[in-house]
Amino acid sequence: MLESRYGPRMWATARACGLSEADAADAVQGAWLRLLEHLHTIRDPSGIGAWLATTTRREALLILRKGRPGVPLPEVVPGDPDPAAAVLEADISRRLWNAVSGLHEPCRTLLQLVAADCGNRQVAGRLGVPVGSVGPTRSRCLERLRTLIHQQETVQ
């Protein structure tokens, strides 16, 4: 599941560094290896995608450095814009919001409000439900969204 979720972005990152397909494969494989080596240090699983992209870029730069000794390479600065990653991120976002728009109410509105960082009281007020039901409803809606996305991924 991790590979299908983050693999395309990792490949795009490696290829954006100018690597051949074989060298890009080495960079991506190296990044997966680094993830396994550092798995015990990861505190925030939501940051794995960014961590993998940065690690893939570093692996790619190491490969480039080995292939062209003495040629200075750009520094990898966290937060530097990566055009390939930005395109993939936009595509993922577009697919996510298409899936959300395919949900029935109240899930569609609830997830839009949660994404807008509205609190449970605001969500409850907008949906006309008790505050205590927002959490369980959100859980059910997220599960429906996961199912819908999974179905869409298996069709593609």
Tens digit of each residue's pLDDT (9 = 90 or more) over 67-125: 755 545 555 555 555 565 666 667 777 788 888 888 999 999 999 888 888 889 999 99
| Distance of alpha carbon 38 from alpha carbon 146, whole angstroms | 27
CATH of 1-81, one of 1.10.1740, 3.10.50, 3.40.50, 1.10.260: 1.10.1740
pLDDT at 116 (0 to 100) = 83
Selected residue with higher pLDDT from 140 and 152: 140
Q: Are 75 and 92 in contact (CB under 8 A)?
A: no
What are the angstrom distances between the C-alpha of 10 and each of 47, 74, 106, 110? 14, 18, 35, 32
| Distance of alpha carbon 146 from alpha carbon 19, whole angstroms | 34
pLDDT at 144 (0 to 100) = 92
Give the model confidence (pLDDT) of 43-80 as tens digits: 777 778 888 888 898 898 888 888 755 545 555 555 55
Burial 88-106 (b: 16+ CB within 10 A, else e): beeeeeeeeeebbeebeeb
What are the angstrom distances between the C-alpha of 56 and each of 3, 9, 48, 92? 13, 9, 12, 19
pLDDT at 30 (0 to 100) = 92
Query: pLDDT band for position 139 (50/70/90)?
Result: very high
Q: Does the structure show a pLDDT above 70 at 142?
A: yes
Task: Provide the CB-side half-sphere exposure for 81 (13 A, CA).
Answer: 3
Query: pLDDT band for position 41 (50/70/90)?
Result: confident
Model's pTM, two decimal places? 0.47
pLDDT at 26 (0 to 100) = 93
